[in-house]
Amino acid sequence: METKPVHFKNVSREESFGYDRKTLDYIRNAAAHGLYEIRGMGAKRKLPNFDDLVFLGASMSRYPLEGYREKCVTKTLLGTRFAKKPIELDIPITIAGMSFGSLSANVKEALGRAATEMGTSTTTGDGGMTPEERQSSKTLIYQCLPSRYGFNPDDVRRADAIEVVIGQGAKPGGGGMLLGQKVSPRVARMRTLPEGIDQRSACRHPDWTGPDDLAIKIQELREITDWEKPIYVKVGATRTFHDVKLAVHSGADVIVVDGMQGGTAATQTCFIEHIGIPTLAAVRQAVNALEDLDMIGKVQLVVSGGIRTGADVAKALAMGADAVAIGQGVLVALGCNGETYYQNGALHSAEADYTAIGAAAGFCHHCHTGKCPVGITTQDAILEQRLSPDVGAKHLRNYLKTLNMELTTIARACGKQNVHHLEREDLVALTIEAAAMAGLPLAGTNWIPGQGF
């Protein structure tokens, strides 16, 4: 007897988990173009993060501080191990390295102005130091990247600290990328590259293949700067426990750990979403490494990758960071993904410009195109006018101020007179995953999953 196929009404329309519409689109695009996707910003997938932790505020067993009458210190010292002139900051919230090229010169100036007003540091990026950012930044960290574009000893001496970049959280093991549409005449001159041609930076430093060579490089940088400037080493979070130990052995004063939520101006999506470990896991590994070497308080730890709020800052500090660095949050404060931009005293809609690049406010990750609708990640002479240094600096200052107020509010609620007194004992985790990664007890229990790491 012949049987006819039966289609159950709702089940036949069920979306596949493994081959959902996003995956189908990905495969169709790959089949149509034979190319991988390149985009900006950070991981979009849901990852365990600082939202999965909460503070145990003071109650009977702890004594809270009065918010309006009792001080809470935020001063932060970085680079106390070997440098004659450590970095002194008013707040433990710094601006992460972002290049001129990925950002406009106006934005670099705005970052410097806001950081200076708030008593914190900003950082260069691939492609060297611009006069605008040096002039506007009281404390400027100068990055030494694998590409060495625009890197020179004069700027090393002009900087306040040097950051040797081994890797970035958005793309550990990968190099920088600046697509041709952003390689303007000025960017090309600074990087000694041809105009308008895609630039792909090296993924590793040309003159070292391991920690011993890094130690020599750090020694060279110290001699160029007469042992005055702190040397930071920045790693993308992967094997963080071992990487931090090796960076300490190589002579770093400060370690910067950038988790996989960290952003980028451009890289392959497969890097952003599939390489690296979440910041939450990386902080714990970094702190464990410093503890193992008895280097807590001697080598400082800066954490970046998905720090957005004052609560995130407080949690990073409680887990053992000395400071945080922020990139994407800073861009959002400047107007990234906003519906409007402010120019010539009036608000203008950016909707048509988002549509033109296939994006929309709130969903944009198109920094690589150079056509940023709000004038942040662009070298276009017309678009970059959409964000003036004045307006950018004002918004960024407000954002940093808010984060710092939230940080001190939380610290006081935990009974701390100094934000650096926040400690792991102040935190618990809300999920088993976060508890295991952060090495903290699950809320309401003494259970730390995976204890014995």
**Binding residues for ligand SF4 (CB under 6 A):** 40-41, 331, 336-337, 364-367, 372-374, 376-377
Question: Considering only CA atoms, which of 244, 231, 235 is closest in space to residue 293?
Answer: 244
Smallest distance, ligand SF4 to C-beta of residue 149, A: 21
How far is it, in rounded angstroms, from Cα 370 to Cα 180?
Answer: 9
Residue whose token pair is 């000395």: 322
Q: What is the per-residue burial (b if ≥16 Cβ within 10 Å, else e) of 128-160?
A: bbbebbbebbbbbbbbbbbbbbbbeeebbeebb
**Shorter beta-carbon distance to ligand SF4: residue 188 or 367:** 367
345: left (phi over 0), alpha (psi -120 to 50) or beta: left
Smallest distance, ligand SF4 to C-beta of residue 126, A: 17
327 within 8 A of 98, measured Cβ to Cβ: yes
How far is it, in rounded angstroms, from Cα 365 to Cα 352?
Answer: 16
168 within 8 A of 201, measured Cβ to Cβ: no
**Shorter beta-carbon distance to ligand SF4: residue 52 or 384:** 384
Smallest distance, ligand SF4 to C-beta of residue 40, A: 5
Smallest distance, ligand SF4 to C-beta of residue 125, A: 14
**Shorter beta-carbon distance to ligand SF4: residue 245 or 366:** 366
**Shorter beta-carbon distance to ligand SF4: residue 80 or 385:** 385
Those residues whose C-beta lies under 8 Å from the C-beta of residue 16, and which sit 6 or more positions away, are none
Smallest distance, ligand SF4 to C-beta of residue 366, A: 4
Smallest distance, ligand SF4 to C-beta of residue 175, A: 20
How far is it, in rounded angstroms, from Cα 126 to Cα 297?
Answer: 30
**Greatest C-alpha distance within the chain:** 92
**Shorter beta-carbon distance to ligand SF4: residue 108 or 366:** 366
**Shorter beta-carbon distance to ligand SF4: residue 315 or 365:** 365
- For the record, the structure tokens of 424 come out as 């792991």
